[in-house]
Amino acid sequence: MAKLILLRHGQSLWNAANKFTGWVDVPLSERGRAEATVASCKLRDKGYKIDVCFTSLLIRSIETAVICLTECDQICGEKIPIIQHDSDDPDWHGWDKYAGNFYQELPIFTSQALDERYYGNLQGLNKAETAEKFGEEKVHEWRRSYSSRPPGGESLEDTKNRVIPYFQSRISDHIKRGQTVLVAAHGNSLRAMVMALDNLEPDEVPGLELTTGVPIIYDFDDQGNVLEKTILT
């Protein structure tokens, strides 16, 4: 039975400082690294073994994936995680000269399509101070609604419009093969994915919250249909 494991990255240093992060490449905090370790232990204790992993291009997502895959060796089996860089990158460093070994390695694919929602002019601002300036209702609308964009930024709808095509073109193929897939990404890119998987309507989005470091598991049948959803709290 195919499984999809969604994991919002652990707390970042800007999460801890209550700042809008978006595309700013901020690493995990000590707590965030611990959250990724706990997620690894939870998956190990439930007997999950990952076949392939996808992350965004942002370090907090990549850190979470690597910690989750390496803190408890059992979830990789005998395989070693290897980050598969895009060979179209101008700084490719010869990454495309090594195709990998499916039997000995676990590929980690990175993609901008899974990056956090772009918060535009809000990036780097304190959330509480921003609410004081623009009003709590307006900031809540920017953060939680489906179609409202923060100044210069993306809406969740915009984010979904890049996440779902990538899911359909890259991730779903592994699900159809019956594999166990880990996606370590961000609150909003994963909200977009959950919205599609759970068939949620836009008016249900404001109440959708994903906790950092808590795995969400979807079981699929051999046709790629969701059978069950489990949250490892």
Feature table: binding site for substrate: 8-15, 21-22, 60, 116-119, 127, 143-144, 187-188
Q: C-alpha angle with apex 48: 73 to 35, nearest 5 degrees?
A: 65
Among 35, 63, 71, 116, the active-site one is 116
First-residue to last-residue Cα distance in the chain: 22
Tokens for 25?
A: 């490449």
Q: What CA–CA distance (Å, rounded) separates 138 from 142?
A: 6
Contacts of 132 (CB under 8 A, 6+ apart): none
Give the number of residues written for the chain: 233
Q: What is the C-alpha separation between 143 and 128, in angstroms, rounded?
A: 13
Reply yes or no on whether 35 is catalytic: no
Catalytic entry in 9, 35, 71, 174: 9
Instruction: Check if the beta carbon of residue 178 is closer than 8 Å to that of residue 227.
Output: no
Q: Which residues are annotated as a binding site?
A: 8-15, 21-22, 60, 116-119, 127, 143-144, 187-188
Task: Return the sign of the alpha-carbon dihedral for residues 211, 193, 92, 50.
Answer: positive
Cα dihedral sign for 178, 211, 114, 16? negative
Give residue for tokens 């370590």.
184
Cα 12 to Cα 23: distance, rounded to the nearest angstrom: 13
116 is catalytic: yes
Catalytic residues: 9, 116
